[in-house]
Amino acid sequence: RIAFIRGQFVPLAEAVIPVMDRGFLFGDGVYEVTAVIEGRLVDDTPHLARLARSLAEIDIPNPFAAPEWTAIEKELMRRNGLRNGLIYIQVTRGVAERAFAYADGLAPTVVLFPQFQPVQYSPLTKTGARIITLPDQRWTRCDIKSTSLLAQVMAKHAVSQAGAHEAWMTRGDQITEGASSTAYIVTAGGDVITRDLSPAVLPGITRQTILKIARARGLTIVERPFTRAEALAATEAFYTSASTIAIPVATIDGHPIGDREPGPVFQDLYAAYMRDLMDLPEA
């Protein structure tokens, strides 16, 4: 695998970052994950816009303009022969003597590497996923795509211990979002409910695209918090992320959702998403 590390394309196995990088010492950085499907760089523009926003929120200068980012991504795809997988981007504040407060003028560290796992054709789109709920232990700025991910590491470990596929995290009675995905339920009336954007959740790029498709198909979208009890009573539930597109939920904490099968709303949105995607040109 070829990575882009601090300005150069190098074999990932040989890539190194200084120990004094603030990303290593403090998790002082942000990241993005963009899918590549059949040679298409999926939702590149909004992913780069969210990267720019995350950087601005924590006062790290954006090292590249959007067209420069895209050029690096395309070169990374070319050098790796990447047609199906993920591009991981990380930007940290840079290298400095260890101290919590930072000086101005540090040079941000930029890292990109590919992952070759296929994004589409997940068997879970047919079988549905097993979800566990657990308390959302993250900070109060979940809208920033921070590399400080201890709460998610702990949540995903609990998921794997439980033999489940994803965790939906709760604050009080309410579900905030998945450990690495946006959560949705469908009511008996056919409305699609997902939490409204706020510092409590990451503004999902796949969420943006799925909601646009859902509106175009005449579905009613209600952006509001929903409770675990509402989710258990839902006729359908599903989640979205760049790395999974969309996955239907079979069970939550062992309780079947609907008839446990991928529901019609999920199937319609997923098919529409894949059709729209294949209409796009290759990168």
- Site residues (vs ligand PMP, CB under 6 A): 33, 177, 180-182, 202, 204-207, 240-242
| Pick 155 or 257: Cβ nearer ligand PMP | 155
Closest listed residue to residue 123, CA positions, set 235, 206, 247: 247
Scored b (16 or more CB within 10 A) or e, 101-126 reads ebeeebebbbbbbbbeeebbebebbe
* Helix residue spans in the chain (DSSP H): 22-26, 44-57, 66-80, 124-127, 150-161, 205-216, 228-233, 264-278
Return the SS3 of 184: strand
Closest distance to ligand PMP from the beta carbon of 104 (Å)? 29
Closest distance to ligand PMP from the beta carbon of 53 (Å)? 12
Closest distance to ligand PMP from the beta carbon of 185 (Å)? 16
Closest distance to ligand PMP from the beta carbon of 242 (Å)? 3
Closest distance to ligand PMP from the beta carbon of 244 (Å)? 8
CA distance 280 to 66: 19
| Pick 33 or 66: Cβ nearer ligand PMP | 33
CA distance 19 to 10: 19
| Pick 18 or 45: Cβ nearer ligand PMP | 45
| Pick 109 or 241: Cβ nearer ligand PMP | 241
Sign, CA torsion 101/140/159/237: negative
Q: Are strands 109-115 and 129-135 parallel, antiparallel or unpaired?
A: unpaired
| Pick 80 or 194: Cβ nearer ligand PMP | 194
CA distance 230 to 212: 24
Supply φ then ψ for residue 162, to 5 degrees: -85, -5
| Pick 237 or 242: Cβ nearer ligand PMP | 242
Closest distance to ligand PMP from the beta carbon of 206 (Å)? 3
Sign, CA torsion 53/240/227/134: negative
Which residue among 74, 126, 145, 212 is the active-site one? 145
The CB density around residue 22, as the number of other CB atoms within 10 Å, is 22
Phi and psi based region of residue 24 (left: phi greater than 0; alpha: psi -120 to 50; beta: remaining): alpha
**Residue 145 among the catalytic residues:** yes
Catalogue the active-site residues: 145
